[in-house]
Amino acid sequence: MKIRFLIYRFNSQKKGKLKYNLYNVPYKKGMTVLDVVAFVYKNLDPTLAFRYECRQGICGTCGVMLNKKPVLSCSTQVDSSIKTQMIEPLANFPVEKDLIVNLEPVLKRYQKIKPYLDRIHKVIITKKKSNESKVFRKCIECGCCIAGSPDLSKKIFSDLDPMSLVKIARYVTDPRDGLDRKSMAKKSGISRYTEELGKKLTLVCPRGIPIDEAIALLKK
Residues that bind ligand FES (CB under 6 A): 52-55, 57-62, 72, 74
Backbone angles phi, psi at 104, to 5 degrees: -55, -50
Residue type, 154: K
Assess 66 for contact with ligand SF4 (CB under 6 A): no
Task: Select the residue interacting with ligand SF4 from 109, 207, 212, 217 (CB under 6 A).
Answer: 207
Which of 86, 87, 114 lies closest to 179 in space, CA to CA?
114
Q: Binds 205, which of ligand FES, ligand SF4, none (CB < 5 to 8 A, cut-off by type)? A: ligand SF4
Nearest-angstrom CA–CA distance, 48 and 174: 42
Q: Of 22-30, 99-107, 176-184, 202-210, which part binds ligand SF4 (CB under 6 A)?
A: 202-210
Contacts for 126 with CB less than 8 Å, ≥ 6 apart: none
Residue 81, exposed/middle/buried by CB under 10 A (0-12, 13-18, 19+)? exposed
User: Cα(first)–Cα(last) distance of the chain, in Å?
Assistant: 53
Task: Select the residue interacting with ligand SF4 from 40, 99, 139, 184 (CB under 6 A).
Answer: 139
Taking the least distance from each CB to ligand FES, the nearer of 107 and 125 is 107
Which of 136, 213, 205, 212 lies closest to 174 in space, CA to CA?
136
Closest contact distance (angstroms) between CB of 63 and ligand FES is 8
Assess 103 for contact with ligand SF4 (CB under 6 A): no
Assess 147 for contact with ligand SF4 (CB under 6 A): no
Q: Binds 57, which of ligand SF4, ligand FES, none (CB < 5 to 8 A, cut-off by type)? A: ligand FES
Assess 161 for contact with ligand SF4 (CB under 6 A): no
Which of 3, 166, 153 lies closest to 90 in space, CA to CA?
153
The residue ranges that bind ligand SF4 (CB under 6 A) are: 139-145, 162-163, 166, 205, 207, 209, 211
